[in-house]
Structure 1
Amino acid sequence: MAKLGRTDIEIHPLVLGTNTFGWNTEEAEAHAVLDAFTAAGGNLVDTADSYSAWAPGNSGGESETVIGTWLAKNRDKNLLVATKVSQHPQFKGLAGPNVRAAAEASLKRLGVEAIDVYYAHFDDPDTPLEETVTAFNDLVAAGKVRHIAVSNYSPERLREWLDITERIGAARPVALQPKYSLVSRSTFEPGLRDIAVAEGLSGLPYHALASGFLTGKYRTEADLEQSVRGGSAAKHLNPSGLAIIEKLDRIAQARGVAIASVALAWTRTRAGITAPIAGARTVDQLGPLLASAELELTRDESDELTSLSDVIGA
């Protein structure tokens, strides 16, 4: 377990991503995934009010709704929920009134009195940042949000957010959510990493398995046909990417774990990273993700992977 930022909250080394809930994971299966995750000690799930507005017939909020129906039956599990604002079709951007209205909608779908971690999903350059910071602080002051966080922010804008909190005495972010993996490091390192370390923010990265590429399932062009995510993984199907898969495979075989477990465990060896986010569409897919939380790589294993990823990810 690790601390969430500078709070006293301890979180499991794996955060469960839930963007498939209410999309290609039906409610019953999603509830089974949540049952298995919490039974293994997991205690933080990640969603957003926009999940899954992109799916035909959906309008956004489906993932939150599915989590809410599970919470209604499992109040004793003490599951923490992180959700986000700025991308829901009805609540675009981070203007103050929009942030407040979106939070109320998320609270209703989740069926909770307070959101544990509330993210600014994407930066909104059209809204003064102080207006956004004030809106988030107001939600904390009202008891509707416990902690705030940012996702997909540049180092400069995150620094500005922190400076504003100091100047006006607002609640500080406790975490940030960057895109980060063995094949995608530049959005976090070095800028966001250095701020996270200096300011005590928990890095909770998404895309830690690179659209499934770092599970080892895509090694040839033909493999890309296996899944709808194959197209997203295709850009990593090159000599450098395959060298990382080969090294992950050797470590995984030596340790008796899945390739995905090693890839996720590597993220926790990196400065500024507290726990990766990874999603499971079915209970069967959850096992390797949970195993990563128990896996501690040696310094040599971590360094070998890092040196390979330096070629394409730094």
Structure 2
Amino acid sequence: MTRIGNSDLDVFPLSLGGNVFGWTADRDESFAILDAFVAGGGDFIDTADSYSAWVPGNSGGESETIIGEWLASRKPENVVVATKVSQHPDFKGLSAANVRAAAEASLRRLGVDTIDLYYAHFDDESVQLAETVRAFGELQRDGLVRHVAVSNYTDSRIREWIDIARSLGIPSPVAIQPHYNLVHRNEVEGAIIPIAQEFHLGLVPYFSLAKGFLTGKYRSTDAAGQSSPRAQAASAYATEQGLAIVDTLARIGEAHGVSVAATALAWLRAQPTVVAPIASASRVDQVADLLDGGRVELSADEVAELTRVSEWTPASV
């Protein structure tokens, strides 16, 4: 178990992504995935109020609704649910009124009295940051939210949020959710991890498997023939270096008896301040790999080898 920042949330070090619920996993498959995750020791679920508004026929909130129905049906103990605000079609942005209305809507869909971890999903610079910080603080004061967090914020805006919170006597964020994985490292390692270390924040990375590339499914530099948008996005990482990373993951994973995906998640867990990478499963048979990713421990030499093979230096201007 791993504590999220300086909060009282102690979780299994792998978060199940709820972005697929109501999208590539229907209600029954979503229930089966959630059942398998919890049965295997998982207890940390990540979603957002906007999931999955991009699907034709959906309007947003489908993932929260499915999770809420599952919670009501199963009544699991000690499950931590994180959700986010700012992108739902009916609750855009981070004005105080919108943050309150969106949180109340999420609570109804989830069927809970309190959201364990509530993220500002994307920064909204059209609203004074102090207004947003105060709104999140009021949700905590009123018991609607236990802890707050930020997603897709720059280091300077995170620092500004913390400064405002401290000046107002409001609890600071306990977590940051950045895009971070073996093929997308530099920005997080250069700017986000240092501020997380400074303020004792936990990282909960998304795209931990690089849209599927770090499962080992894409093993050719030829992206032609990848039909789905998701496959095309994943295959974009299939450069010579990307394939070398996957080959190294496969070799190290084989030594531990786990998959490429589990090994990639284990490397991420070994990075400073990382609490629990987020990874999703569209089928129940994919859950075991994710759980392995939360348990397998790589040696220091294995972590260092993966770090070396995935180093990337931008071309000089």
What's the TM-score, normalizing by structure 2?
Answer: 0.96
Q: What's the counterpart of residue 71 of structure 1? A: 71
- Supply the distance in 2 between the matched residues of 1:297 and 1:201 (Cα, whole angstroms): 23
2:267 maps to 1:288: no
Q: What's the counterpart of residue 185 of structure 1? A: 185
Q: What's the counterpart of residue 273 of structure 1? A: 274
Q: What's the counterpart of residue 309 of structure 2? A: 308
- Supply the distance in 1 between the matched residues of 2:80 and 2:178 (Cα, whole angstroms): 20
What's the CA shift for 1:227?
5.1
The amino acid of 1:214's aligned partner reads L
Q: What's the counterpart of residue 170 of structure 1? A: 170
- Supply the distance in 2 between the matched residues of 1:15 and 1:270 (Cα, whole angstroms): 16
Q: 1:269 to 1:167 in 2, by over 3 A?
A: same
2:28 maps to 1:28: yes
Q: 1:224 to 1:278 in 2, by over 3 A?
A: farther
Q: What's the counterpart of residue 130 of structure 1? A: 130
- Supply the distance in 1 between the matched residues of 2:113 and 2:275 (Cα, whole angstroms): 26
What's the CA shift for 1:294?
1.4
What's the CA shift for 1:234?
2.5
* 1:154-233 aligned within 5 A: 154-220=154-220, 221=222, 225=226, 228-233=229-234
The amino acid of 2:26's aligned partner reads E
- Supply the distance in 1 between the matched residues of 2:178 and 2:210 (Cα, whole angstroms): 13
Q: Helix, strand or coil: the match of 2:146?
A: strand
Decide whether the 8 Å contact of 1:179 with 1:187 is kept in 2. no
Further displaced range: 216-225 or 74-83: 216-225
- Supply the distance in 2 between the matched residues of 1:49 and 1:39 (Cα, whole angstroms): 25
Decide whether the 8 Å contact of 2:223 with 2:232 is kept in 1. no
Decide whether the 8 Å contact of 1:218 with 1:237 is kept in 2. yes
Q: What's the counterpart of residue 256 of structure 2? A: 255
The amino acid of 1:11's aligned partner reads V
Decide whether the 8 Å contact of 1:224 with 1:233 is kept in 2. no
Q: Deviation string for 1:153-204 (max 9, x for gaps)?
A: 0000001001111111111111010000000012311211011111111100
- Supply the distance in 1 between the matched residues of 2:225 and 2:302 (Cα, whole angstroms): 28
Decide whether the 8 Å contact of 2:223 with 2:238 is kept in 1. no
- Supply the distance in 1 between the matched residues of 2:256 and 2:282 (Cα, whole angstroms): 25
Decide whether the 8 Å contact of 2:83 with 2:115 is kept in 1. yes
Further displaced range: 259-268 or 185-194: 185-194
Q: What's the counterpart of residue 140 of structure 1? A: 140
Further displaced range: 102-111 or 231-240: 231-240
Q: Helix, strand or coil: the match of 2:186?
A: coil
What's the CA shift for 1:226?
6.8
2:11 maps to 1:11: yes
What's the TM-score, normalizing by structure 1?
Answer: 0.97
The amino acid of 1:133's aligned partner reads V
Could you say what the CA RMSD is over the residues aligned between the two structures, in angstroms? 1.5
Further displaced range: 235-244 or 50-59: 235-244
Q: Helix, strand or coil: the match of 2:236?
A: helix
Q: What's the counterpart of residue 41 of structure 1? A: 41
The amino acid of 1:295's aligned partner reads V
Aligned residues with identical type, % of pairs: 53
What's the CA shift for 1:225?
2.5
Decide whether the 8 Å contact of 1:268 with 1:275 is kept in 2. yes
Q: What's the counterpart of residue 94 of structure 2? A: 94
What's the CA shift for 1:312?
5.9
Q: Helix, strand or coil: the match of 2:194?
A: helix
Q: What's the counterpart of residue 299 of structure 1? A: 300
- Supply the distance in 1 between the matched residues of 2:205 and 2:77 (Cα, whole angstroms): 24
* 1:40-59 aligned within 5 A: 40-59=40-59
Segments of 5+ residues of structure 2 without an aligned counterpart are none
Q: 1:120 to 1:200 in 2, by over 3 A?
A: same
